[in-house]
Amino acid sequence: MKTKTILSLLILSCTFISCDRISDNYWDQKDQENYTSRYMGKWVGSYTGQGNGNLIISVSKSGNITGTYGPNNDMVLGFVMDDGALTPVVSDTPIFTMYGSLNTKKGTWKNGSLTGDWTLTKQ
């Protein structure tokens, strides 16, 4: 009898914990759906230094970055944080990486041993 009571209490406890997690996940998902990055939109600029060219990026509602750079319009992908900081924005080939902030609208870039600065303006 005592074993059945303990087992029943254990199962009941797990059920409540599971329901709490489901509820928390639901509200986290709703928060993400309602989130809009303050940097959302099109950004245009250039990069200079040991190489130069044009930059065009688009920031989605969720903060995802897609864009192009250079004469071949190579693709870059990344993410912008709430404070404007970029996760490293990277192309696939050649490896062109942007570091910096959309809050300050500038940063640095690296491509192998080549480096320089970039600036962007929101359109």
Residue 63 has pLDDT above 60, yes or no: yes
Quick one: pLDDT at residue 9?
Answer: 59
Cis check: omega of the bond before 88, within 30 degrees of 0: no
pLDDT in tens, 73-107: 999 999 999 999 999 888 876 789 999 999 999 99
Kindly state the helix (H) or strand (E) to which residue 49 belongs, with its residue range.
Answer: strand 41-49
Task: Pick the range with the lowest mean pLDDT from 2-6, 30-34, 66-70, 119-123.
Answer: 30-34
- Interatomic CA distance for residues 107 and 94, integer angstroms: 19
Task: Pick the range with the lowest mean pLDDT from 20-29, 36-45, 103-112, 113-122.
Answer: 20-29
Domain 41-122 = CATH 2.40.128.120: yes
- Interatomic CA distance for residues 59 and 54, integer angstroms: 17
Q: What angle do CA 25, 83, 76 make, to 5 degrees?
A: 85
pTM of the complete model = 0.72
CB 42 within 8 A of CB 123: yes
- Letter for the amino acid at 87? T
